[in-house]
Amino acid sequence: MDKFHRNKTAIRIKVISMGNAETGKSCIIKRYCEKRFVSKYMTTIGIDYGVTKVSVNGKEVKVNIFDMAGHPVFYEVRNEFYKDTQGAMLVYDVGNRESFEALDSWLEEIRKDIGSAADLEGVVFAVCANKVDSRKRVVEEAEGQLWANSHGFYYFETSAQTGEGINDMFQTLFKAVLTAIENGGKPVQLNASTNVGYTKEQAEAIQRLKTAKDNYERLGLPAGASREDINRAYRRLAVLIHPDKSLAPGTEDAFKALVNARAALLQTHR
């Protein structure tokens, strides 16, 4: 195949970066594309855009990278760029808990602006726990891994400064996007249990018990569910996340929260 023809047939994919300001999104991209690190902070204004050619599974791929500004004032600029996204890096700073807790609102933002639930289903997400070189880490690996797992996302420990995890993260993301394209747009399902000792379902249940606003939500029930529903949901979850069965971080606390949630709800149903 001649060069001209090969270029014409190169696959194009669209990847975006998401996450709070100053978490290191631009630096991760710069580390990958330019193999360098800049320690001075230059906030991204709106969106930065670049194309890079990579080889994935022996195929030439043109990656269009949209590097989003994390600051809330740029929401109006960002929201138009979510459409047609195939891969997304969700970046937080392991030295800044707020940036980790913001991941849910980033997911909410893309969900709102990408178009449809089916479009969101097709996106491959890679969570980047960034700045792992830093000495003041406050979000531990297990916590980040659990969040990623509960959503079925990839998880990587990264440092734009040292380069740790960056190539691995991009290669995995690009490969998964290509596989999704080859499978007609459906991304591969990650099997969490093969490498972390717990399943996606367990991670989801634990995450929900941790963050739910009330006891009904903890049990995955609508407000006002019956006594029978409460007991049924409790039994199912108790089997699922029993500390003998789950190696996920936070299992014991989640199990206690489950027992307490049921007890409190049954009291109101007497």
Interface with ligand GTP by CB under 6 A: which residues? 21-27, 38-39, 41-44, 69-71, 130-131, 133-134, 159-161
Distances (CA, A) of 105 to 41, 204, 225: 24, 17, 28
* Cα torsion 24, 26, 32, 37: sign: negative
CB nearer ligand GTP, residue 39 or residue 189 = 39
CB of 136 to ligand GTP, least distance (A): 10
Residue 189 contact partner, candidates Mg ion, ligand GTP, none, CB within 5 to 8 A by sort of partner: none
Residue from 59, 126, 143 nearest 90 by CA:
126
CB nearer Mg ion, residue 26 or residue 130 = 26
Q: For residue 230, which phi and psi values (nearest 5 degrees)?
A: -60, -45
Task: Give, for 216, the enclosing helix (H) or strand (E).
Answer: helix 215-218
User: What is the distance between the alpha carbons of residues 66 and 123, in angstroms, rounded to a whole number?
Assistant: 14
Residue 159 contact partner, candidates ligand GTP, Mg ion, none, CB within 5 to 8 A by sort of partner: ligand GTP
Residue 21 contact partner, candidates Mg ion, ligand GTP, none, CB within 5 to 8 A by sort of partner: ligand GTP
CB of 32 to ligand GTP, least distance (A): 12
CB nearer Mg ion, residue 44 or residue 64 = 44
**Helix segments in 74-192, DSSP class H:** 75-78, 97-101, 103-113, 117-121, 141-151, 166-182
CB nearer Mg ion, residue 44 or residue 52 = 44
Residue 192 contact partner, candidates Mg ion, ligand GTP, none, CB within 5 to 8 A by sort of partner: none
List of residues contacting Mg ion (CB under 5 A):
25-26, 44
User: What is the distance between the alpha carbons of residues 238 and 236, in angstroms, rounded to a whole number?
Assistant: 6
CB of 158 to ligand GTP, least distance (A): 7
CB nearer ligand GTP, residue 22 or residue 143 = 22
CB of 125 to ligand GTP, least distance (A): 16
User: What is the distance between the alpha carbons of residues 270 and 258, in angstroms, rounded to a whole number?
Assistant: 19
Residue 71 contact partner, candidates Mg ion, ligand GTP, none, CB within 5 to 8 A by sort of partner: ligand GTP
CB of 89 to ligand GTP, least distance (A): 10
Token representation of residue 235: 């039994």
CB of 155 to ligand GTP, least distance (A): 16
CB nearer Mg ion, residue 44 or residue 134 = 44
Is 152 within 8 Å of 181 (Cβ atoms)? no
Is 78 within 8 Å of 69 (Cβ atoms)? yes
User: What is the distance between the alpha carbons of residues 17 and 89, in angstroms, rounded to a whole number?
Assistant: 5
Provide the terminal-to-terminal Cα distance of the chain, rounded to the nearest Å: 76
Furthest CA-CA distance within the chain: 78
CB nearer ligand GTP, residue 160 or residue 192 = 160
Token representation of residue 104: 């849910």
CB of 96 to ligand GTP, least distance (A): 10
